[in-house]
Chains A and B, each alone.
Chain A
């Protein structure tokens, strides 16, 4: 039809043919995340494999035992002087502790931070992809991306691969024109904004601490102390969290890294009567 021709619109089946034509199986030619196309949304999927069906077969009944364990504790809260982000640093693979010194905060740009919980590989990959998109946005629009938009980009990426086994619970924190921003994004595509979040399997322990100590009008030192305590007590009770507390403070002029303290020393300090 005339309008179709003029606007260059192609039907879905033709689009699919363009995106995944029979002949193009070489990885470089396939749709991937490294092309900078903006005309059509592209989802890179492995050829010939249906990820959701594959995942369904990887459960206990089928005899396969691939347990995705998400061991971590991260927390973030907004208060009058910005956003505090505190994370632990333990990476576990089942019962094995792979590392006690992982950086679970990705510094997207001087005004944006992302935390990682869930599958380490997924978090690192997707948040680096988000960093790429934020940089592109800055170059194209000459303005920094807002926290809401950055979290929306990440959330849409997650939605595209929904049901295919991604595991990521992340908090996007930043300071933009609207002030301090804190969003929680996870692998289901959930995107929530609030003034306090905690993710990971130690999150319940952290919630108890930060709920009871949180006040909107805290001083900066009190906020640092609250963040430290939250992670420390969570690592004390949760086996899959530990290592050091990495804490960042997001201020109007950018983020600063506040501290990197070992939780075993912190717990001794907080619980003198305990040991």
Chain B
């Protein structure tokens, strides 16, 4: 394709049989390079790290060695060495490798759709087994101007796959002149993670995006886009369409995680907020409310209580903050700060990071005031009874 020729890119993956070639080319660059959509005649080439390196201990990572499995066509499901399949003929060394330190996944992330778009919130504590490794991690990673991904699981895995996904989405945008929908991005991520099913890879992401179909400010008229339901006045100025009568149907079929089908059908041709949960074990779910992580049960009941379609942006922000705060209050692996991102048709906006310690002290003060009120009231009562 044109871009490939221009930038002198070699689709190395199409060279069968020369196994050492890819790795001789770039030292230290140890993954096989293959792009989805790169060649219309070839099947999907997935961008995956070499099977070999999942066997080696991470401390030896980066050393180049001859690969036997380079010629495997990736059109089928490549079962990369899962640690319990030593008989796989593609592998060179089937011994399971112990990690240098125990990895542990503690976090609270949540996201929900409302009339103003999508709101995503997460804490910022990164933990490693019992230690708090970092108080200021970024768990909400922007993918492109209109999509954000909340990540949970192993931070390194999440950061890497998010970057790979951003790259793929950008290439798609350049080739096709429009952004890939959230559904497509989620599907892409899910397929990229599928070869690692059964390994220790752990990524649980919520893809939150606004599907607009516009790249350079003009509208995509194909398919009859629907405007976003409800009255989100601040963001619908650019979309110059009248409100569909069928939008009322959209609103009434709005439901939580269980009722995914009606919403999916309504949005097939449309633009608007969209949310998908993608997990490294292969799950890919569309929904309107998700919470992921060790602190998620605490947060999700607070969200269940308060999230409605008709929330204003401020109400939605305060519910999200409250939910993350409650989760960090009870879960040891969540804490420090809360990040809140809002995705609308204009793109994503990040609120300033808020320290939950302040929230804790504010609440403590409120409670003490309440107790003091009770004490004074009871004292007054006692005085009155004494006098009477």
Contact = CB atoms under 8 A, between A and B. Distances in A.
Given A216-B370, A236-B304, A275 B255 contact: yes
Contacts of A110: none
Interface in B318-355: 322-323, 326-327, 329-330
A270 B308 CA distance: 11
A80 interface: yes
Interface stretch (A101-109, A183-191, A204-212): A204-212
Interface string A191-220: 000000000000011111101100111000
Given A207-B330, A208-B299, A274-B256, A237 B304 contact: yes
Contact of B309 (A206, A215, A273): A273
B298 A204 contact: yes
Contacts of B305: 209, 212, 229, 233, 270
- A-side interface size class: 20 to 34
A271 interface: yes
Nearest to A230: B301
Best-buried of B299, B305, B322 by chain A (most CB within 10 Å)? B305
A113 interface: no
A52 to B, nearest CB: 28
Given A208-B326, A211-B326, A233-B305, A216 B300 contact: no
A217 B373 contact: yes
A151 B255 CA distance: 45
A215 B374 CA distance: 11
Contacts of B373: 217
B172 interface: no
A35 B184 CA distance: 71
Contacts of A208: 297-302, 323, 326-327, 330
A18 to B, nearest CB: 48
Nearest to B254: A273
Contacts of A234: 301
Contacts of A204: 297-298, 301, 330
Interface string B284-314: 0000000000000111111011001110000
Interface of B: 254-256, 297-302, 304-305, 308-310, 322-323, 326-327, 329-330, 366-367, 370-371, 373-374
Given A217-B374, A236-B304, 18 more contacts: A205-B300, A207-B298, A207-B301, A207-B326, A208-B299, A208-B301, A208-B302, A209-B301, A211-B298, A215-B370, A216-B370, A217-B371, A217-B373, A236-B301, A237-B297, A237-B301, A270-B305, A273-B308
25 contacts: A204-B330, A205-B298, A205-B301, A206-B301, A207-B301, A207-B330, A208-B297, A208-B298, A208-B327, A209-B301, A211-B298, A211-B326, A211-B329, A212-B322, A212-B326, A216-B371, A217-B373, A217-B374, A229-B305, A233-B301, A237-B297, A237-B301, A273-B254, A273-B310, A275-B255
